[in-house]
Amino acid sequence: AQSVAQPEDQVNVAEGNPLTVKCTYSVSGNPYLFWYVQYPNRGLQFLLKYITGDNLVKGSYGFEAEFNKSQTSFHLKKPSALVSDSALYFCAVRNTNAGKSTFGDGTTLTVKP
């Protein structure tokens, strides 16, 4: 079985400050890890993914994520938050046997001016 935990329901940061949205996972075998963002009443938009290689992955809109195998974590980061980054963020994991992706419960990011 595979699972994802996003330990924080909400993250609040001030505009211009760095942000981190946490994600830990559990999966058998090598994980494929993904981050998505959802704006109100919209579908999910893909931000970035880790498949293999460099542990630091860069994605859309200035976001990056660091894969840490020993801590089974894949935290989403951005050096300088924007008000427009305010949204719901989902971490997802898929094992190498393909098929379903399992999503975390989501973290609401609020960036205040």
Partner 1 sequence: EAGVTQSPTHLIKTRGQQATLRCSPISGHTSVYWYQQALGLGLQFLLWYDEGEERNRGNFPPRFSGRQFPNYSSELNVNALELEDSALYLCASSWGGSGNTIYFGEGSWLTVV
Task: Quote the CA–CA distance of 18 and 79 in Å, as a whole number.
Answer: 4
H-state helical runs in the chain: none
Residue 67 near residue 57 (C-beta atoms within 8 A): yes
* 58 near partner 1, judged by CB under 8 A: no
Cβ proximity to partner 1: between 98 and 113 the closer is 98
What residues between 10 and 49 interact with partner 1 by CB under 8 A?
Answer: 32, 34, 36, 42-46, 49
Cβ proximity to partner 1: between 2 and 81 the closer is 2
**First-to-last C-alpha distance (Å) of the chain:** 41
Minimum CB separation of residue 80 from partner 1 in Å reads 26
